[in-house]
Every structure is written in structure tokens, then in C-alpha cells.
Structure 1
């Protein structure tokens, strides 16, 4: 049995992963900014944790105690062209998706390093390795997250801690529908918003992602560093690798 702490467990991937890991026999510590949203989860422990608040992270980790694996899942996305996105919104996105993930990892790593074992599992995206117009800010956070994760894999691997990055394509989790949109009717990039649908065609389910999470926990340090979720993710990333370096890569036709 592995003791797994999950950030962002109130909905979507985090919630379904908590259930899947519990059903697989693991001891799950589910966390969220609003702990009341965790009430019906069948897990060992439910804690308030805001990854953007150092005091909240410190308190939650103190209450959690022993943690064998971290599923760093808390995150959000936005829709905006880089020309006009408010820099405060971009800063908030990095604070949640990147610095928040590192903040929790920094809090958990000392106990893992001292034991000589542990897993850091980061929920990334295929957009951690390519970009999609109007979602470039999110892509930038996932690129940064993967750079942090790869560095941690080298640094903490010396102490017996394994690091893994899960890369789903579009996921039917409701996250895209909750995205903040910074595109009013007068924005010159507004017509592009209606053209990005193909990038979210045939999304994978949250259960598919949760199954990958469960497999990574089961495999432990034998799991790969990067794990694309589903054939579409593998195909898109494969096409991206083969694309010429001198031209931006688009995973779907885009006419506007």
C-alpha cells in the first residue's frame, strides 16, 4: 500500500484519480482549496491545501505526515492571445501551475530524500511539449513544469526519488469550460477562438488519465519519466518530433 497525496482533488482528474487509487488499495490523502468538496470521497484523509499559499502547504503537509507519492495535479488554464493577455493573469497562472507544484514538491522532498524513496508525479499535458494558439499561456506553464520535473528527476533521483510527467491531450474534465477567457468582441484575435475546436476533438476521459496515474504508482520507480495518455497524445507528440524545426507545429488545420 502506497500513501499518495493528491493536490486539486476536488474535481476532474484529481478527484477520479483519488477514487481509482483508493480502489487499488492505496492510502489516499486528498487535498483541495475548498475541503468541503472532498466530503464524499472514500479516502483516508482530506485536507485543505492551497498550492499558492506557503502557510497552507506547510500546514497540510504537517497534517499529512508520511507521504510515499505526490500527484501534483492542481492547475488551471486560460484562453487569450499573448499579445493582449493581462500579465497579472499570466502571473497567476504560473503561480498556480508551476510555482504551486514546486512549492508542494519542495515540502515533500525532504522526507522522501531522507528515506531514500518516493515518487513525484506531475500532471502535465501534451502542451508541455508543443503549443496551441490562444492557449499559449497554459502551454508555457506546462513547458516550465516539465523543465522543473526533468531537473528534479536528475537532482532527487540521486536520493532514490523517482519523477514522472503525465501528458494527456484534451481531457473531458470540464477544465476547458471553466477557463477564464480574455477575448472581448473587439479583440482582433476573437475569430480564432472559434477555430480551436479541432484541438479538443475526441478528448480522453478523466478515467483514462486516472488509470495511467494508478499504473505509475503501481510501477513505482520503474515507470517512465514521460507518459503520454492515449494514442492521440502519442500520435501528436510523434508528429511534433518529426516536424521541421524551422516552422511552428500545428496539430490540427487552422484557417481563420
Structure 2
């Protein structure tokens, strides 16, 4: 049995993780910005935690005690053109999705190092390796998190601590409810066609419970891999991009969005 702290547990994958890990006998510390949303969860401890706030992170870490495994799940997305969102909104996005996991690592790693064991699972996305129009902000945060996790993996290996990137594809969860859409008239056609293309190509997504089971299986198996496919299609989605050269990817993406050709639009 391990003591496991999970961030972002009010809904979706975080909530499913808490239920799955608790059922498997682990000592789970569930956290969310509003602790009252965790009242019905069968956990050892439910804490208020805002991963964008240093004081909140420090207070939660102190109460949580000796944490063996950290799962950085809290996050949200912004959908829109690169120039569309306010800088303040982007700062909040990066503070949550990138600096949040770093704050948590800084708070909990000293204890893991002292005990000579531990693991950090960072919930990421295939979008980190296949950014495209309107997805740039979210993809950028996940690309940054992936890079940090790769570095952590090397740094922590001699200390008996593992770091793992959990790659997600499509997930049927409440995550979309936390997405901020920022539209601009200049990109209205792109926004319309991108949504239609996603809807037409979307296959049956994994459920939050399926993702939770995959992560729990990895935890119970012991030392996690560098990358874990959390949905079963995450690696395949990455391969769709990395298997193409840049020119082919760009041409295919633009042709899918603008089959009439760009010349027809630019005159």
C-alpha cells in the first residue's frame, strides 16, 4: 500500500483515480481547489489545494505527510488562436499546467529523497507532440511538462525515484467543461472547420475509469515506464505526426481544413 496524492480530484480522471486507487487499498490524499467537492470520496484525507499558489501547495504538502506517489492531474485548456487569449489567461494556464506540477514536485521531492523512494506521474497529452491550429496554448503546456518529466526521470533515477509521463488521447470526461474558448472573427472559418473535423474524426474515447485503471495498474506493477499510454491510443496519435515529415504534415493538415485550397482564400 502506498500513500498517493492526486491533484484535481473534483471530477473526471482525478475523481476516477481516487476511487480506483482507494479500492485497491492505497492510502489516497485527494485534493481540489474546493475541498467540499471531495466530501463523498472514500479517502484517507481530502485537502484544499490550488496548484497555482505557493502557500496552498506548502500547506497541503505539510498536512499530507509522507507521500510515496504524486499524480499531477490538475489542469485545463484554452482553445483559440495564438493571438486570441489575454496574457493573464495564458499565465494562469501555464501556472496550472506547467508550474503547478513543478510546485508539487518541489514540495514533495525532499521527503521522497529522504526516504530513497517515490514516483511522480505527470498527466500529459498526445497534443504535446502534435500541436495544430487553435490547440497551441494547451499543447505548449503539455510539451513543456513532457520536457520537464524527461529531465526529472534522469535526475531522480540515482535517488530511487521515478518520473512518468502519462500520454492521453481522447478521453470522455468533464475536462472539456473546464476549457476556455477564445474566438476571433479573423479565425472564424478555421474555428468552424476545426470543430467539424474533430467531430467527424473522433472515435470512441476512453473513459476516465479506463485511464484510472491503466495508471493504477502501472503503480501496482512497480517502477513506471518513462511514458505510459493512458488511453490506449495516445502513442498511435503521436505516431501519426512523428511518422510524417514536416512538409507532409503541414500540407495534409491545411488540405483537411481548406480543401478548396489556400489560393482561393488569399486571392
Partner of 1:194: 195
Cα deviation for residue 118 of structure 1 reads 0.1
More displaced stretch, 177-186 vs 242-251: 242-251
Partner of 1:213: 215
Task: Tell me if structure 2 keeps the 8 A contact 1:126–1:228.
Answer: no
Q: What is the rounded CA distance, in whole Å, between the counterparts of 1:187 and 1:240 in structure 2?
A: 24
Partner of 1:183: 183
Q: 1:127 to 1:252 in 2, by over 3 A?
A: farther
Partner of 1:224: 225
Task: Tell me if structure 1 keeps the 8 A contact 2:170–2:231.
Answer: no
Partner of 2:257: 255
Cα deviation for residue 100 of structure 1 reads 0.7
SS of 2:47's partner is strand
SS of 2:213's partner is helix
Q: 1:80 to 1:65 in 2, by over 3 A?
A: same
Task: Tell me if structure 2 keeps the 8 A contact 1:198–1:252.
Answer: no
Q: 1:47 to 1:58 in 2, by over 3 A?
A: same
Kindly provide the CA deviation profile for residues 186-211 of structure 1, in whole angstroms up to 9, marking residues without a partner as x. Answer: 64444345333246442211011101
| Paired residues for 1:43-122 under 5 Å | 43-122=43-122
Any gaps of 5 or more consecutive residues in structure 2? 259-267
Q: 1:227 to 1:199 in 2, by over 3 A?
A: farther
Any gaps of 5 or more consecutive residues in structure 1? none
Partner of 1:168: 168
Q: What is the rounded CA distance, in whole Å, between the counterparts of 1:253 and 1:180 in structure 2?
A: 27
Q: What is the rounded CA distance, in whole Å, between the counterparts of 1:181 and 1:49 in structure 2?
A: 25
TM-score relative to the length of structure 2: 0.89
Task: Tell me if structure 2 keeps the 8 A contact 1:122–1:164.
Answer: yes
SS of 1:47's partner is strand
2:169 matched to 1:132?
Answer: no
RMSD: 2.0
Larger proportion of helix: 2
Cα deviation for residue 156 of structure 1 reads 1.4
Task: Tell me if structure 2 keeps the 8 A contact 1:172–1:204.
Answer: yes
Task: Tell me if structure 2 keeps the 8 A contact 1:199–1:252.
Answer: no
More displaced stretch, 242-251 vs 153-162: 242-251
